[in-house]
Amino acid sequence: MKPCVAIPIYDHGETIENVVDALAHLGLPCVIVDDGSNQPTHSVLIRLARRHSFVTLLRHAQNRGRGAALKTAYGWAGAQEMTHIVQVDADGQHRVEDIPKFLDAAALQPDALILGDPVFDESAPRIRLYGRQLSRAIVWIETLSTSVSDPLCGFRCIPLAPTLKTLSRFEMGDYMDFDPELVIRLVRASVPVVNLPTQVQYPEDGISHFHMVKDNLRLASAYIRLALEFPRGRSSNAYRTESAP
């Protein structure tokens, strides 16, 4: 295995420093994709890249969306011959202390998609919880499988080879619709899934870039598009699913 960490960021200058500093002891390369952030955030990122030799900073001149930032990170990782990407958010929701657990799970099953299975506290907005339940049900229908516990959690360890192959075959969304679409396409390609419980919190002063109308419409559009191409987009191999111990 040759893993790295990928962090897409858009205007999370107040939280990214703690996230990156917490990664320092892991000894992993980290690619941060600045998706057209404001100048204060970009200045913080430049300072972090200078402070930490393990950080590579890439930048989109303008905001192109979460999915576009992740595609840039995957492309960079592929060029560096990485095998796995551990993906975390920049807003401090994810416990970076759990990254070794994700890597351990990937070491046991190098071809598997390791998905974070969020354990929420009382800070989680109810509407987000209901939305996740709905997306999970849709993904189960789209894949004819109950292997995925949460298709929206951004904390995951991705096997890069099948991911890049999938990206080369399909045009995929550039915004919040990217994460669940990638999960659906990988499951359809018979990539096994491991669901790993991890605590997720919503900071009181946290900034969310999820647009309730626009992003829900994008999600609905992606689910409809994927349903219409099914079973053409499905692999003939049987699906496999496991849960982490």
E-assigned strand segments in the chain: 3-9, 30-35, 55-60, 84-87, 113-120, 156-159, 193-200, 241-243
Strand partners, 94: 200
- Tens of pLDDT, residue by residue over 73-106, are 999 999 999 999 999 999 888 999 999 999 999 9
Instruction: Give the pLDDT confidence score for residue 236 in this predicted structure.
Output: 38
Q: Which domain holds residue 138?
A: 3-243
Instruction: Give the pLDDT confidence score for residue 240 in this predicted structure.
Output: 41
Q: Using CA atoms in the order 148, 149, 154, 155, what is the torsion angle rounded to 10 degrees?
A: -100
Structurally, how many domains does the chain consist of?
1
- Tens of pLDDT, residue by residue over 167-201, are 999 999 999 899 999 999 999 999 999 999 998 87
**CA-CA-CA-CA torsion sign (143, 218, 168, 58):** negative
- Which CATH number belongs to the domain containing residue 123 in this structure? 3.90.550.10
| Count of all residues that appear for the chain in the document | 245
Residues in the chain where the model's pLDDT stays below 50:
235-241, 243, 245
Instruction: Give the pLDDT confidence score for residue 234 in this predicted structure.
Output: 53
Instruction: Give the pLDDT confidence score for residue 125 in this predicted structure.
Output: 62
Total-model pTM: 0.86
